[in-house]
Amino acid sequence: MTAPPKTIRILVVDDHPIVRGGVELLAREDTDLEVVGGALTGSAAVELARTLPVDVILLDLRLPDIPAPELIPRLRRVAPNARILLFTAFADHGAIDLLMEAGADGCLVKDISGQDFATAIHRVSSGIRVVDPRLTGPRKVVTSEALYRAGLTRREYEVLRFAAMGHSNPEIAQELSLTRNTVKTYLQSAMQKLNARNRVEAIARAHELRLL
């Protein structure tokens, strides 16, 4: 006798509650999918992933408290068997490849159709890497003009980019052959120019400006 299909349990991590509602609607189109929880922040996602039986974590790239590159390893530690599927509103997101290297299992664009969504969830749940074809183009190149509009120097941008990848100040210093104090100075300058109170806000602002 053939075993009944296993229900794929999904945890939605997004700071916009309406997104969870949309995912639930998409999941209803496939009886093998079930949304078992939702989190508005990275911290809440870690706690839910620790306690809920989850097969796929659908992770928004822009959360208010923890950058995605830092959050992915944390989720891996508390839910080692869950697949992490990134969810982005921007098909030209420049850091997808870096986030995949950080441990994500795939990435979807939020305007995906119901059938494509279900297929992607099934595939990633079975261990197949899934990346929306609109995200497989060449890596985003940030021009000097774009940096000028944002008020950032190339070095400030490089330091902020490594911070967005989840690197600590000492690691950034090593990568860029700078002193730790110099890295701190560049980050503080970038935060001031982006009107951000901390590095999380600065990274979010850089995302909004399509620099990351």
pLDDT, one tens digit per residue, over 143-162 is 778 888 889 998 898 898 88
Distance between CA atoms of 55 and 122, rounded to whole angstroms? 10
- Bridge-based pairing of strands 33-39 and 56-60 is unpaired
Distance between CA atoms of 150 and 43, rounded to whole angstroms? 29
Helix or strand (DSSP H, E) at 106: strand 106-109
Model pLDDT, residue 2? 46
Distance between CA atoms of 142 and 94, rounded to whole angstroms? 9
Residue 15: name the closest of 52, 54, 43 by CA: 43
Q: Concatenated DSSP letters for 80-96?
A: TTSEEEEEES-TT-TTH
Sign, Cα dihedral of 89, 91, 95, 98: positive
Model pLDDT, residue 46? 97
In the three-class reduction of DSSP (H, G, I as helix; E, B as strand; rest coil), residue 53 is classed as coil
**Yes or no: is domain 8-135 CATH 3.10.105.10?**
no
- Asked whether the domain spanning 144-209 has the same topology as the one spanning 8-135, the reply is no
Model pLDDT, residue 76? 93
Architecture per CATH, 144-209 = Orthogonal Bundle (1.10)
Instruction: Please name the residue that has the structure tokens 């620790």.
Output: 50
Model pLDDT, residue 1? 43
Model pLDDT, residue 195? 92
Angle at 40 between CA 58 and CA 38, to 5 degrees: 50
Q: How far is CA 41 from the centre of its chain?
A: 12
* Low-confidence residues of the chain: pLDDT under 70: 1-5, 90-95, 97-98, 133-142, 165
The DSSP symbol for 127 reads: T
Rg (CA), the chain: 18
In degrees and rounded to multiples of 5, residue 178 shows phi and psi of -120, 165
The ranges assigned to domains in the chain are: 8-135, 144-209
